[in-house]
Amino acid sequence: MSAYAELFNLSKTFPSPQGERVIVRNFNLTIDAGEFVTLIGHSGCGKSTVLSMVAGLSSITAGGLILAGRELTGPGPDRGMVFQSPSLLPWLTAFENVMLGINQVFFTAPLYERQQIAEYYLSVVGLADCMHRRPRELSQGMRQRVGIARAFALKPKMLLLDEPFGMLDALTRYELQGVLLELWRKNRIATLMVTHDVDEALYLSDRVVCMTDGPAAEVGDIVPVHFPRPRDRASVMEHPDYDPLRERLIEFLEIHAHRRPSAVPGERSVALTA
């Protein structure tokens, strides 16, 4: 049985005056169909680089990507992307922003069907009453709701979330995590999310992948998260495994926070795949 999405020996290097600068080295990960995987690590460790390589926005130096049996080259709407900043086009309304992608993916469908798709997803994320407003008339949280609706509306094979709630206040973040989880429960799209919020990772994901610090970041530890779904925040946090898992993740981050980048050993044996 093969995995739904496979990242094998994904590497990223930049040429620099001091020779090759290795950002990510031999990153291996498999994601099952309908699985929610989260990448955590310190800021600048290269986790966003991994995500943008999967998205096709950043070139891959070595290694490769397979999604649903096909090797990926370059970006495409088969991977729904939610950026850290909502990245909405300010001259289009929320509805038009979502339609831009829908028109691209479902170009054979009649117009009213495409409009229904946009209206459906905007309603599900709670924007039924303000879908015809422009981004500047929406709050930061509402803009990110549009970003989530835009990603799901394309019915992508995979969902890529790049610290989607990083710019929001705590209350809005909780709300949007709920919105995301609800949409994901209905659609069960294989998801790769990047975050540095340990609680967010535990609440949302099936597995948490810890990345070692860059340069030359790799997979450090993979932590399975077996809270029953559908989840709600209270029962997840009361689960007897919650605190030990949280402890384990934070401990990992702390160990790697104190490691100086220059002291990175050349070879490290790590668990590469789950």
Partner 1 sequence: MSSTSLPVTATPGSPASASHPFRAGFQRWFSRLDWFVLPLAGAVAVLALWYLSSATWAKDLPNPTRTWIASKPYIVEPFAKRGELDQGILRFTWLSLILVAKGYAIALVVGTPLGFLLGISPLFTRALDPIIQVLRPVSPLAWLPLGMILFGGWKGANVSELAALFTIALCAMWPTVLNTAVGVRAIPQDYMNVARVLKLSRWKTLTKVMIPATLPYMFTGFRLSLGIAWLVIVAAEMLTGRPGIGGFLWQQYNALIYEQIILCILTIGLVGFVLDRLMSVVERRFRSV
Interacting residue ranges for partner 1, rule: CB under 8 A = 55-57, 75-77, 79, 81, 83, 85, 87, 89-91, 100-101, 104-105, 134
Query: Exposed, middle or buried: residue 254 (CB in 10 Å: 0-12, 13-18, 19+)?
Result: exposed
Q: Give whichever of 134 and 155 is closer to partner 1, judged by the CB atom.
A: 134
CA distance 240 to 228: 12
CA distance 49 to 45: 9
Smallest distance from partner 1 to CB 101, Å: 5
34's tokens: 């309908």
Smallest distance from partner 1 to CB 64, Å: 19
Smallest distance from partner 1 to CB 79, Å: 7
Q: Give whichever of 133 and 231 is closer to partner 1, judged by the CB atom.
A: 133
Residue 135 belongs to what H/E stretch?
none
Q: Give whichever of 84 and 115 is closer to partner 1, judged by the CB atom.
A: 84
Smallest distance from partner 1 to CB 95, Å: 14
54's tokens: 């999967």
The contacts of residue 19 (CB under 8 Å, 6+ apart) are: none
Q: Give whichever of 71 and 267 is closer to partner 1, judged by the CB atom.
A: 71
Q: Give whichever of 81 and 179 is closer to partner 1, judged by the CB atom.
A: 81
Smallest distance from partner 1 to CB 54, Å: 11
Residue 208 belongs to what H/E stretch?
strand 207-211
Q: By the 8 A CB rule, do 181 and 231 touch?
A: yes
CA distance 9 to 64: 7
